[in-house]
């Protein structure tokens, strides 16, 4: 084991990573145990389990889990695996249930996972059944309404884990007048034939849009001028985003990219609302701003809208955009297969047009039929093909290496907006988790 841990340490070097980190099934199994088995993983939002008995099913690495609201008000996370012979007890994506009944022999469990009725009960040894139930995930915690859980009973608390990245969740929630968000429109899922890390490495990568998204930038440039008075279209917001993707290199280099010691990261100073909606005289945005001022006062509303955090990565399983109220959770299935769940949030007290923008953005930028996401997926699959070749060992992650700046708040900033500092930071976190005694 010592030899193996030393070998692991060799795979991640200051400006390069060994290809096996993305392509070796043995390493993938170890990641499920040591990263997904240890870290806090985001599972969803409390609006998905608003009332007692509301539940949804998801995954924590290898483990299928049920997230359920208990009658005592707490959120419980149960491993979706019958204590009898191992079937998953819940097959639905979401619903409301008094109890979970296994389809195989009818054992039933309450919302806390406690075993209740067992058919043919007299056949079991006395006292034996009282030891059995659905396993509870040991740590569950919420931050600003977002549900996290950890399969490990020890480790840092949730707030310490999130560190400076809490500001991105604050931004997402603060933007809702009255602070109320809800997941609306279900969960959108797509899979790709590539490693889970590709998505996390892509979402802060300012050097890729000009290439990967060149065709969508061209389409957006040819589209009618967004927001032309009397000709507003619900795709305007997405057209602006795609045009922004085609910004000159100097703009990309001038934005900010920050990382945290646990591998989280975020872009800032890229989009402001002025570039997207506010300054364009969008009537919906004006109405929204009024509502925000009404709820929290002019000064606070100005402060909230001045925050220009953009894509945020919470390592190892989440990416979100507060300005568009989109959140994605990545679930690794195999070393070369991943599935992504996408959630759209509605600000409960905002004008309906704001959610329309969220949905338009989801369709055009984050959906599988979009002009943007599909190109990223093509690249992830090409990465997997390239890295499955054994002829070349190393992946180079050296852009900006040597120029990283340590900031007073504990974050590390890239010397330019297109620095690969965020991949170096994710890899540092990867090594920390993968250590035998992390």
Cβ distance to ligand FES smaller for residue 17 or 115: 115
CB of 293 to ligand FES, least distance (A): 55
Measure the CA dihedral 169/373/40/406, to 10°.
Answer: -70
Distance of closest approach, residue 104 Cβ to ligand FES, in angstroms? 4
Closer of 75 and 373 to Fe ion (Cβ): 373
Round to whole Å and give the CA distance between 136 and 114.
Answer: 10
Which of 24, 35, 23, 11 has the alpha carbon at shortest distance from 432?
A: 35
Q: Which does 376 bind (CB under 5 to 8 A by kind): ligand FES, Fe ion, none?
A: Fe ion
Q: Is 201 near Fe ion (CB under 5 A)?
A: no
Rg of the chain in Å (alpha carbons): 23
Q: Which of residues 81-100 bind ligand FES (CB under 6 A)?
A: 82, 84-87
Query: Please, what is the minimum distance in Å from the beta carbon of residue 91 to ligand FES?
Result: 12
Contact letters for Fe ion, residues 133-172 (x by CB under 5 A): ----------------------------------------
Q: Specify the residue, 85 or 231, whose C-beta has the smaller distance to ligand FES.
A: 85
Q: Which of residues 361-380 bind Fe ion (CB under 5 A)?
A: 376
**Of 106 and 138, CB closest to ligand FES:** 106
The distance of closest approach from Cβ of residue 106 to ligand FES in the complex, given in angstroms and rounded to an integer, is 6
| Near Fe ion in 375-414, by CB under 5 A | 376
Phi and psi at residue 169, to the nearest 5° = -65, -40
For Fe ion, the closer CB: 201 or 376: 376
Task: Compute the least distance from the CB of residue 284 to ligand FES, in Å.
Answer: 50
**CA geometry: angle 251, 171, 94, nearest 5 deg:** 115
Minimum distance of ligand FES from residue 60's CB (angstroms) = 21
266 touches 309 (CB < 8 A): yes
Least separation in angstroms between residue 117's CB and ligand FES is 11
Residues in binding contact with Fe ion, number by CB under 5 A: 1
The binder of ligand FES chosen from 43, 102, 173, 373 (CB under 6 A) = 102
Q: How many CB atoms lie within 10 A of CB 44?
A: 22
CA 236 to CA 201: how far, in whole Å?
Answer: 28
Q: Two tokens at 407? A: 């900031």
Return the number of the residue (83 or 427) whose C-beta is nearest ligand FES.
83
Among 107, 196, 380, 422, binds ligand FES (CB under 6 A): 107
Phi, psi of 78 (to 5 degrees): -115, 140
DSSP letter string, 390-420: SS--EEE--TTTT--EE-TTS-EE-SSTT-T
Complex with Fe ion: residue 280 or 379, whichever CB lies closer: 379
> Which of Fe ion, ligand FES, none has residue 169 at its interface (CB below 5 to 8 Å by kind)?
none
Closest Cα to residue 292, out of 270, 276, 273? Answer: 273
Number of residues that bind ligand FES (CB under 6 A): 10
Helices (H), 214-366: 214-222, 236-245, 249-254, 273-276, 283-296, 298-306, 352-361
Dist. CA 170–CA 173, nearest whole Å: 5
Q: Among ligand FES, Fe ion, none, what binds residue 254 when CB lies within 5 to 8 Å by partner kind?
A: none
Binder of residue 104, out of ligand FES, Fe ion, none (CB less than 5 to 8 A by kind): ligand FES
- By the 8 A CB rule, do 202 and 376 touch? yes
| Position among 104, 124, 394, 396 found at the interface with ligand FES (CB under 6 A) | 104
Of 105 and 382, nearer to ligand FES (C-beta) is 105
Query: Which of the choices ligand FES, Fe ion, none does residue 102 contact, using the CB cut-off of 5 to 8 A by kind?
Result: ligand FES
Chain centroid offset of residue 374 CA? 18
* Residue among 63 and 205 whose Cβ is closer to Fe ion: 205
Complex with ligand FES: residue 129 or 207, whichever CB lies closer = 129
Smallest separation, CB 233 to Fe ion (Å): 23
Binding residues (CB under 5 A) for Fe ion: these are 376
Instruction: Give the residues lining the site for ligand FES (CB under 6 A).
Output: 82, 84-87, 102, 104-107
């Amino acid at each position: 084991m010592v030899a193996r841990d030393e070998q692991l340490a060799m795979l991640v070097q200051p400006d390069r990573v060994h290809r096996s980190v993305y392509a070796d099934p043995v390493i993938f199994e170890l990641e499920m145990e040591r990263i997904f088995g240890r870290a806090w993983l985001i599972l969803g939002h409390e609006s998905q389990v608003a009332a007692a008995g509301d539940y949804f099913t998801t995954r924590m690495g290898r483990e299928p889990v049920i997230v359920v609201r208990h009658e005592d008000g707490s959120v419980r996370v149960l491993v979706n695996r019958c204590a009898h012979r191992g079937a998953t007890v819940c097959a639905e994506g979401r619903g409301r249930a008094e109890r979970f009944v296994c389809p195989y022999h009818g054992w039933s469990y309450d919302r806390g996972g406690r075993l209740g009725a067992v058919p043919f009960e007299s056949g079991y040894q006395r006292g034996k059944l009282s030891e059995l139930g659905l396993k509870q995930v040991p740590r569950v915690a919420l931050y600003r309404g977002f549900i996290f859980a950890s399969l490990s009973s020890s480790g840092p608390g949730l707030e310490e884990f999130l560190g400076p990245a809490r500001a991105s969740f604050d931004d997402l929630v603060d933007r809702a007048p009255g602070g109320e968000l809800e997941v609306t429109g279900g969960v959108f899922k797509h899979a790709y034939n590539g490693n889970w890390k590709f998505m996390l490495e892509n979402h802060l990568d300012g050097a890729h849009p000009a290439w990967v998204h060149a065709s969508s930038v061209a389409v957006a440039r040819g589209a009618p001028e967004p927001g032309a008075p009397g000709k507003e279209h619900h795709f305007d917001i997405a057209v602006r985003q795609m045009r922004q993707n085609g910004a000159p290199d100097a703009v990309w280099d001038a934005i900010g990219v920050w990382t945290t010691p646990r591998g989280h990261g975020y872009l800032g100073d890229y989009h402001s609302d002025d570039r997207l909606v506010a300054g364009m005289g969008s009537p919906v945005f004006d109405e929204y701003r009024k509502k925000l001022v009404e709820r929290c006062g002019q000064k606070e509303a100005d402060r909230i809208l001045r925050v220009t955090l953009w894509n945020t990565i919470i390592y190892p399983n989440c990416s979100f955009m507060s300005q568009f109220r989109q959140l994605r959770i990545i679930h690794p299935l195999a070393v070369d297969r991943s599935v992504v769940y996408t959630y759209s949030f509605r600000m409960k007290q905002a004008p309906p047009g704001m959610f329309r923008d969220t949905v338009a953005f989801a369709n055009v930028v984050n959906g599988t039929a979009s002009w943007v996401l599909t190109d990223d997926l093509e690249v992830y699959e090409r990465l997997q093909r390239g890295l499955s070749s054994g002829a070349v060992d190393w992946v180079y992650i050296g852009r900006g290496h040597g120029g990283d700046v340590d900031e007073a708040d504990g974050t590390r900033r890239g010397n330019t907006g297109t620095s690969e500092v965020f991949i170096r930071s994710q890899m540092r976190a990867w090594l920390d988790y993968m250590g035998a005694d992390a």
